[in-house]
Structure 1
């Protein structure tokens, strides 16, 4: 499988590696660089087909366009997954299903907990899930025994979504995930953030 980085290097080098002389002698103007990045993203993510008033299939390109329109930073990782930062927290945007019709906004709390706190954090997640619709809160225990808390909002968009609907779903996933992470920050304050 060819990684996103390999594809980007081939695209920038037009299929051949650039020499040091070419890199240092041929500066790229901001406008040209922006156009190249936009072309690369369009090639990797597809083009955004806006569904202004009629539902249209959701694609990574539409999500990236929404991120740009709302002035959020985003990236495409080596696996081709679209991610971004929201209030300093990492979120990913996945499309699952046979027709890529299930949109999932998944965030991970920026800190990890000791395995000894697993029962209490499970109780916190269960309480959250019993009292709220979004996001689904759960934990993952990594191989190193550290506990990670995850927030997830998934929506079946088999019939597509308008731009307004897509925006509402994405804001819902990001803002409710942040609410869960705020509750975790309050419950488990960062010791380094407290004055000695």
Structure 2
């Protein structure tokens, strides 16, 4: 390695000599520690890896709910669900190895079929302006319009507890934001005083 390459390597790795003399024998552990110190100084803190990602399971989701003091239930199909702010949310695992986590919420009200076009416009506008949740409408067998919020994440390589928590909170909070927008657009007539 030439003089210029050694000098550039020392500069990029943070091992450039203060006195002008070359630094010899810097091992990988020292280099890693210096990079961590540089990141801590520049960014404030360095997140240490506390756990390796592990597969997501219904038991981990239920444990997260318990840890966060959320009430939940398991329905007849074995799916986890719960009510948040009066809205029903389910937590599904899809895929060949149950690697896709989906947080799906339902708005607590239904609309008349005559409002389908405006609800579809509202969902399309929401999806065009925001990343989460995916918003869509379904027409039930009884002809009523049902609005759904959905956040899906491929977790093929698993997730740490912190990552899982962030995904679950994202699904719940962004779904609630969509439902709040629907409540504002379509106020409950029974909620107003006569």
Fold similarity call, TM over 0.5 = yes
2:3 corresponds in structure 1 to none
SS of the aligned residue for 2:152 comes to strand
Alignment-derived partner of residue 12 in structure 1: none
Residue 116 (structure 1) shift? 0.1
Q: TM-score, normalised by structure 2?
A: 0.74
Partner of residue 83, structure 1:
81
**Displacement after TM superposition at 1:144 (Å):** 0.7
* Aligned equivalents of 2:177, 2:53: Cα separation in 1: 29
Contact 1:52 1:163 in 2 (8 A): no
The RMSD of aligned alpha carbons is 1.0
Q: Which runs of no fewer than 5 residues in structure 1 stay unpaired?
A: 1-50
Deviations 1:27-52 (A, max 9, x none): xxxxxxxxxxxxxxxxxxxxxxxx95
Shift of 1:185: 0.2
Deviation (angstroms), 1:176:
0.1
What residue number does 1:159 align with? 157
Given that 1:138 and 1:151 are in contact with CA atoms closer than 8 Å, whether structure 2 keeps it comes out as yes
Distance in 1 between residues matched to 2:176 and 2:128, nearest whole Å: 18
Number of positions where the alignment pairs a residue of Structure 1 with one of Structure 2: 146
Partner of 1:103: 101
Between the aligned partners of 2:185 and 2:105, the Cα distance in structure 1 is 18
> 1:173 is paired with a residue of what secondary structure?
helix
Q: Secondary structure at the match of 2:175?
A: helix
Equivalents in 1 of 2:131, 2:122: separation in Å?
15
Deviation at 1:122, TM superposition (A): 0.2
Partner of 2:124: 126
Runs of 4+ displaced beyond 6 Å: none
1:52–1:91 CA distance, 2 compared to 1 (3 A): farther
SS at match of 2:142: coil
Which structure has the higher relative contact order (CA within 8 Å, separation 6+)? Answer: 1
Tell me the distance in 2 between the aligned counterparts of 1:52 and 1:175. Answer: 26
Q: TM-score, normalised by structure 1?
A: 0.73
